Amino acid sequence: MKILTVVILVTLSSTAFAQGSGLKAGLWEMKRTSMVIDGKDMNAQMSAAQAQMQQHMEQVSPEQRAQMQAMMEQHGSHGMMNPQGAQQICISPAMARKNNPVVDSGCEPAKLKRNGNKSSFEINCTKNGRKVEGKGESTYNNDTVNTHMDMTTTDDRGSKHMQMEMQMTYLGTDCQGIKPADELIK
């Protein structure tokens, strides 16, 4: 699950490159459309795990649910993910304006290029004992952002190569109580 948190943070951060391309502060829905780790298609496995977690959340008391959601937020899970891999996230005004966004608690893109409605980026950093290397591209079209990433993370447990595609869709200015993503990754 830690690798998914890194992916979400990188994806969130890469979307902030769109300062002039229409990224808006407010509530967004982020959906993973493809995820391959070390050559294995992880979509079915991730969807099954998310469905199981959702089912468990529905069976616990409201107090336990609130406690579990607080714990997930504390560990970098932004909002609640549904079985299809969609998650609601909040982009703060500061994050929408940012030119060089923070990636995973401090890593910044090593290279960033903007060309029209596309931003390409490269990441190469080590933070908290984890090395992250990769590249990606985001394409902006009105209220949607499509991102493709190819990255490798390495830590004391080994190395993982991941390819992921995600889509974000703008839902509106009201974040409906979800904390902004930049506050969660501090």
Decide: 143 and 26 in contact? Cβ < 8 Å.
no
Rounded Cα–Cα distance for residues 164 and 182 (Å): 21
- Torsion angles phi and psi, residue 118, rounded to 5: -120, 145
Domain boundaries, the chain: 2-184
Predicted confidence pLDDT, tens digits, the chain (186 residues): 444 444 544 554 444 443 444 578 899 898 888 889 998 888 777 777 777 777 877 888 888 878 877 766 554 454 445 545 678 888 888 888 875 444 443 566 678 888 888 888 888 888 888 898 999 898 888 899 898 999 999 999 999 999 999 899 999 999 988 888 877 665
The pTM of this model reads: 0.69
